[in-house]
Amino acid sequence: MNTPPASPPPPLPPPPANADASPSTLKRTRKATRLRSLATRPPGAERPVVNVDPATGKADVDKDGADDIVCEKYGISKEKWTQFCQTRRDPSWEDVRKKAQASQKQNTAPHVLSRGGYEYLEEKLMAEKAKKRLEEAAQSGSTEGIIDPPSPIRRHVKWKMARTKKTGQMTSEAAKEIADRIVSHF
């Protein structure tokens, strides 16, 4: 099947001319994304067959390639992985999922961490601590504090930081109350 060549996208309009605004005061926005080289499948290739279970509305896709990657990465045999997948498809797991969703809704102190989670937060805080130590050592002229690594970040500090927005506010009133109790305890 011949497909006509893709025409180039229309040019983007120039930014609005505002005599009062300097380049630093203009709001930065995301530009258009062009993925001309991205192809989900080669031209002329067959579409993958997806069977949808009418009872559940979920798709059953052949994921042998993904299964092989998981088995190789985590050292799981193909049989054990298949058995695990089958047990998760059992309707009794639906109750487990619903209970997990219900408990998430009851979370009154959600965190605002990125995908890096607590690990990334700890790395960032440790880097700040090390930088602060270096600055203090440079000011005092001493090299004693540079050799020793900074002490680990305490758990309650990470908990509070995970629930503090960039504006300095807590994510919820419940998180603020817990943080106040933590501060009064330490």
β 59-60/51-52 pair status: antiparallel
Q: Is residue 19 packed enough to be buried (19+ CB in 10 Å), middle (13-18) or exposed (0-12)?
A: exposed
Could you read off the pLDDT of 70-121 as tens digits, one per residue?
A: 777 788 888 888 888 888 888 888 888 888 888 888 888 888 888 888 889 9
Beta strand residue intervals within the chain, DSSP E: 51-52, 59-60
- H or E segment to which residue 79 belongs: helix 78-88
pLDDT for res 21 = 55
pTM of the model as a whole: 0.45
Determine contact, residues 158/185, Cβ cutoff 8 Å.
no
pLDDT for res 41 = 65
Of 14 and 116, the structure prediction assigns the larger pLDDT to 116
- Residue 1, pLDDT > 60, answer no
pLDDT for res 86 = 84
Q: Which of 138, 135, 177, 136 is nearest to 160 (CA)?
A: 177
Q: Which amino acid is at 172?
A: S
The residues spanned by each domain of the chain are 62-91, 117-185
Query: Lowest mean pLDDT: which of 15-19, 56-60, 172-176?
Result: 15-19
Query: Lowest mean pLDDT: which of 1-5, 119-123, 124-128?
Result: 1-5
pLDDT for res 76 = 85
